[in-house]
Structure 1
Amino acid sequence: MLMKNYFFLLLVLLAFGCTKQEQSQKFITYNLRYNNPGDGVDRWDARKANVVGLITKYQPDVFGTQEGLNGQITYLDSALTDYSYVGVGRDDGKQKGEYCAVFYKTAKYEVVKQATFWLSETPEEVSVGWDAALERICTYLLLENKQSGERFYVFNTHFDHIGELARLNSSKLIYSKITEHNPEKYPCVLMGDLNLTPETAPIQYLSEVLDETKSLAGENCSGPQGTFNAFKHSEPVTDRIDYIFISKGDGVVNQFKIIDDQIEERYPSDHLPVFVEVVL
């Protein structure tokens, strides 16, 4: 009888371990394209419902946006009722300028802490860094799974489009912040529009200190090569400048997808979103 109880307990523990191991989480990074009335047929009002439809279709647990202005972020917040967000405008640390907002499913996660820093020599104040053309920020938060208690960080950023030194130093600054704010060594996800292709020095640096999810996915990749479509809806997308990284050794990527869905033969933004399903 004792032996039977032992084997029953062993089977229960093995089953629980497998269930826990198989739990995955879905992430998306998405440059929304800022609300520019000059975009004509591709202006925000003409495509915002399509952005909501795409997010609803893929059901990420967490997604990060870049370029969204306050009106765009509050629209998503009101339309996507399963989510809440953290983030501030980069121009004043409040509501002015572009956000790097992070949305998360409120039924699944609780925010333990959150903050935004500037990609500059003075990251705790509104500032332009190095040779950058504009203020650039990184918003991060520590999430706790309400059911399992497991915690992980999400960092979401948008690198400068001009400054070469700024982009390299931004990579190093973000990794230093990940290390500084995470002494417990929780798993960490870094996502964003980095305005750089994979062979460049900042991306190579990040790929050394973190794991790039496309590389981890191996054959479990789908979609086009690139992420920046420039609203050229009928042309191949070849420039990959949007990324999702995870901390070294902290995850298995079940799926990596660059989403090239079109609605009435048009993309919802001038970037394609990057989707990953990860076991952290």
Structure 2
Amino acid sequence: MKCEFWEGSDRELAVRVYTHNIRYATTRPAKGEVLWAKRKHAVAESIRFHTTGRTSVVCLQEVLYSQLLDLLKLLGEDWDYYGVGRDDGRKAGEYAAVLYRTTQFKIELYKTVWLSETPEVPGKGWDAASVRVLTIVLFRHKASGRNLYVLNTHLDDQGRVARAEGAELICNIISSLEDPHTLVLAGDLNSEPNQEAYPVLAKALADGRHAPGVHLYGDDNTFTGFDDTTRRKRIDYVFADPSLVVENYAVLPNRFDDGMWTSDHRPVIADVIVKGKVNRV
């Protein structure tokens, strides 16, 4: 992949988007599930291996605050994050966190929106079983001066109306952003391509897996459960503004020879190319 970080306005910026539902740190693991204290090393090493030497952003779902601290410690001091606990807008509940290297990016703007009829305050929306959020971060790439919006979400696993309405709200938010053409959306939609949220988002954004000329690697399905009998399905995605180039798209393993499932979801990677002129201040 060509990855050049120059001050000129005609150079490309290549960004690797890594997204993973890491499974929250339950104290009552399901059959086949290993406690977070053992899983965390494998989760962190996957992030490290697949982002080292690259300009990268990492979108994680189902992250409790204690898990976030564990990962930042394992990844190293040059990593930071934006996100809030969904239950209170501070530290309670799961995060849809966006992680980044402070040597690569500076945050220009950030916001959390609740996917509900009252998006400015914590709470459930429509028929959702849980509180759900959209994390929005506007990054400035330090070396090139380019901007990139990174959005991360985790839609409800039970509320069909909540998934559809949440996707509509996300599309409305995207349309309201200043210069949304350098934007990626990652996350666990809890929707397969023929279900509620996907067709709504696919009207506004391009599914990275189906981008023109994209190179594919790995599996198609992203949800596995913690056994070999659960029905596999594709519910985790990286979408991008149609003006961006998605060069590579991969679904990575979540189990190796030791037999441990790192999560009940597989990580997803998309390599996105940002072109065009640099807007400088």
TM-score for the superposition, normalised by structure 2: 0.88
What's the CA shift string for 1:190-222, capped at 9, x where partnerless?
A: 110000101124201211111110000655111
What's the CA shift string for 1:20-60, capped at 9, x where partnerless?
A: 54531101110010001221751111110000111111016
Q: Which amino acid aligns with 1:141?
A: V
Structure 1 counterpart of 2:50: 58
Structure 2 counterpart of 1:207: 202
Alignment partner of 1:29: what SS?
Answer: strand
CA distance in 1 between counterparts of 2:7 and 2:92 reads 47
Q: Call closer, same or farther: CA 1:94–1:215 in 2, change over 3 Å.
A: same
| 1:135 partnered with 2:134 | no
Structure 2 counterpart of 1:11: none
CA distance in 1 between counterparts of 2:130 and 2:247 reads 36
Identity %: 35
Structure 2 counterpart of 1:83: 79
| 1:70 partnered with 2:68 | no
Structure 2 counterpart of 1:238: 232
Structure 2 counterpart of 1:47: 39
Alignment partner of 2:37: what SS?
Answer: helix
| 1:29 partnered with 2:24 | no
CA contact (8 A) 2:188 2:236 kept: yes
CA distance in 2 between counterparts of 1:97 and 1:240 reads 25
Q: Which amino acid aligns with 1:53?
A: E
Q: Call closer, same or farther: CA 1:153–1:22 in 2, change over 3 Å.
A: closer
Superposition pairs of residues 209-224 of structure 1, within 5 angstroms: 209-216=204-211, 218=213, 220-224=215-219
Which ranges in structure 1 are unaligned for 5 or more consecutive residues? 1-15
Alignment partner of 1:277: what SS?
Answer: strand
What's the CA shift string for 1:5-26, capped at 9, x where partnerless?
A: xxxxxxxxxxx89995453110
Does 27-36 or 60-69 show the bigger shift?
60-69
CA contact (8 A) 2:160 2:196 kept: no
CA distance in 1 between counterparts of 2:229 and 2:213 reads 26
- Structure 1 position 184, deviation (Å): 2.8
Q: Which amino acid aligns with 2:236?
A: D
Which ranges in structure 2 are unaligned for 5 or more consecutive residues? 1-5, 275-281
Q: Call closer, same or farther: CA 1:166–1:266 in 2, change over 3 Å.
A: same
Structure 2 counterpart of 1:193: 188
Q: 1:152 aligns with which of 148, 151, 158?
A: 148
CA contact (8 A) 2:107 2:140 kept: yes
How many pairs does the alignment contain?
Answer: 262
Superposition pairs of residues 117-132 of structure 1, within 5 angstroms: 117-132=113-128
Q: Call closer, same or farther: CA 1:165–1:268 in 2, change over 3 Å.
A: same
Structure 1 counterpart of 2:224: 229
Structure 2 counterpart of 1:5: none
TM-score for the superposition, normalised by structure 1: 0.88
CA contact (8 A) 1:119 1:138 kept: yes
CA contact (8 A) 1:127 1:135 kept: yes
Identify the structure with bigger relative contact order (alpha carbons < 8 Å, sequence gap 6+).
2
CA distance in 1 between counterparts of 2:259 and 2:156 reads 30
RMSD: 2.1
Q: Larger Rg: 1 or 2?
A: 1
**Larger helix proportion of the pair:** 1
| 1:266 partnered with 2:266 | no
Structure 2 counterpart of 1:161: 157
- Structure 1 position 91, deviation (Å): 0.6
Q: Which amino acid aligns with 2:252?
A: I
Alignment partner of 1:115: what SS?
Answer: strand
Structure 2 counterpart of 1:172: 168
